[in-house]
Structure 1
Amino acid sequence: MSKYVATALRWESGWELHVEGEGVTQVRTLDNAVAQVRDYLETVHDRSFDDAEVEIVRG
């Protein structure tokens, strides 16, 4: 299983999620952050990340 760390930075419309070694995505609330990181990774890599461990850290 892969592990990904995303640093959440607040901005006026929600949160930027800086995924270590992968890029940046956005989410309105942190409740949806893990799902958004997985969706982002699936879009970039064209495969499932359902089993990936995702850690959200506030920056």
Structure 2
Amino acid sequence: MDREYTGFFKSSYSGDSEQCVEVAPGCGVVPVRDSKNTDAGVITVSREAFKAFTDSVR
């Protein structure tokens, strides 16, 4: 069953970049989608995995 996630946003650090993803907070997991193709679907990752990812790209 697909879950409807709301409140997606992209980082303010993205600026006018065309290569962005959006995330939705407060779901127990981190839903991620393509900001240019929001109907393409959502992948979810654990909060721990998302934190490890963001820590590695800073």
TM-score interval, smaller chain: 0.3 to 0.5
TM-score normalized by structure 1? Answer: 0.34
Greater RCO, 1 or 2 (C-alpha within 8 Å, sep 6+):
1
- Decide which structure has greater strand share: 1
Larger Rg computed on CA atoms: 2
